[in-house]
A and B are shown apart, each in its own frame.
Chain A
């Protein structure tokens, strides 16, 4: 079977008719180049682009997230919603912090009671019979040293709580842990990579004061992130669900950062 060498002569392709390009007059070109041209008001309203509409929808959606969370202003709060001052080193310029959490204040009660007991020890020691035989300067130094140990204990516990921070931004979840002076951890996962979220509230105190663990399963290198003993775990889960929806919508709109 002989084949035609020139297929275009046998079955020519359909010609694609390109839309006529509007030819700009000299005056029209000048209007486009000159950005200072003022449009009349009715023309301005008509020029709302789809991008503006999407941005407006996202702003409404974000407001719904903040409505769920409520509002806090105390810097030592365990549940800081949209903090104005708070920043972290790995934060991107365009990244917005939605929520910052620390372990619930009730988790501090045990070490505060312990500290108060430690402060009372020098008073109790005076009742021991051997204490009277110790020279005064040793007594003074011993008491001073004990108070310093108490201060160190309280300071270490406070710092462990203060720098144990969980952050939800519009892009990711972050866990900065400061377990003790020589052990710290930073882990993060993108919200789009979150697979499952679960909460765990157990015991009398957690039920009474509404705090617990929030477990986040991710598809990233860190398979699980745990927000330990955070207040309002149900709200956190709700917000993470909303943020995941927002991320999905962003992916559909092609606005992934």
Chain B
């Protein structure tokens, strides 16, 4: 008889959802911080795009965390 692995997967996903999204949010904040610092050190044409992209990434990380809270 094959054991039902779905229950374990669900538990695993819950752990991933809360811990993972939390860590991801911290990571996104670190990226924004680092990008803003590096763009002050090195000024190039493409810097504005990189800054905008880092903020979009942070917004997506917040969205992911909110979705995790709503869905689970």
Chain A residues within CB distance 8 Å of chain B: 75-76, 83, 85-89, 130, 133-135, 137-138, 140-142, 144-145, 148-149, 151-152, 155-156, 159, 162-163, 165, 176, 178, 181-182, 184, 186
**How far does the Cβ of B72 sit from chain A's closest Cβ, in whole Å?**
7
- Interface assignment of B50: CB less than 8 Å from any CB of chain A: yes
A144 and B9 alpha carbons, distance in the complex (Å) = 16
Q: Contact at B67–A144, with CB atoms within 8 Å?
A: yes
**How far does the Cβ of B70 sit from chain A's closest Cβ, in whole Å?**
9
A159 and B38 alpha carbons, distance in the complex (Å) = 10
Q: Contact at B44–A145, with CB atoms within 8 Å?
A: no
A142 and B16 alpha carbons, distance in the complex (Å) = 9
- Give the total number of A-B pairs whose CB atoms are below 8 A apart: 97
Q: Which residue of B lies closest to A135 (CB)?
A: B10
Q: Contact at B24–A85, with CB atoms within 8 Å?
A: no
Pick 23 A–B contacts, CB within 8 A, sort by A.
Answer: A75-B44, A85-B43, A85-B45, A86-B42, A130-B5, A134-B9, A134-B13, A135-B10, A138-B10, A138-B71, A141-B68, A144-B67, A145-B17, A145-B20, A145-B21, A148-B64, A152-B27, A159-B50, A176-B41, A178-B38, A181-B31, A184-B34, A186-B41
B33-54, CB < 8 A from A: 34-35, 38, 40-46, 50, 53-54
Write out, one digit per residue, whether chain B residues 51-72 have a CB within 8 A of any chain A CB (1) or not (0).
0011001001100100110011
Residues from chain B with Cβ under 8 Å of A182 in the complex: 30
Q: Contact at B64–A181, with CB atoms within 8 Å?
A: no
Q: Which residue of B lies closest to A138 (CB)?
A: B13
Main secondary structure of the interface of B (DSSP, over half): helix
A184 and B33 alpha carbons, distance in the complex (Å) = 13
In order of increasing CB-CB distance, the 8 nearest A-B pairs are A133-B6, A75-B45, A87-B43, A137-B71, A138-B13, A163-B38, A85-B45, A75-B46
**How far does the Cβ of B50 sit from chain A's closest Cβ, in whole Å?**
7
Q: Which residue of A lies closest to B5 (CB)?
A: A130
Q: Contact at A88–B10, with CB atoms within 8 Å?
A: no
Question: Which of A134, A162, A181 sits near B30, CB closer than 8 Å?
Answer: A181
A197 and B31 alpha carbons, distance in the complex (Å) = 35
A156 and B44 alpha carbons, distance in the complex (Å) = 18
Question: Which of A76, A134, A151, A162 sits near B57, CB closer than 8 Å?
Answer: A151
A83 and B16 alpha carbons, distance in the complex (Å) = 46
Question: Which of A140, A141, A163, A181 sits near B42, CB closer than 8 Å?
Answer: A163
A140 and B13 alpha carbons, distance in the complex (Å) = 11
Q: Contact at B35–A159, with CB atoms within 8 Å?
A: yes
Q: Which residue of B lies closest to A165 (CB)?
A: B42
Q: Contact at B53–A148, with CB atoms within 8 Å?
A: no
Q: Which residue of A lies closest to B64 (CB)?
A: A148
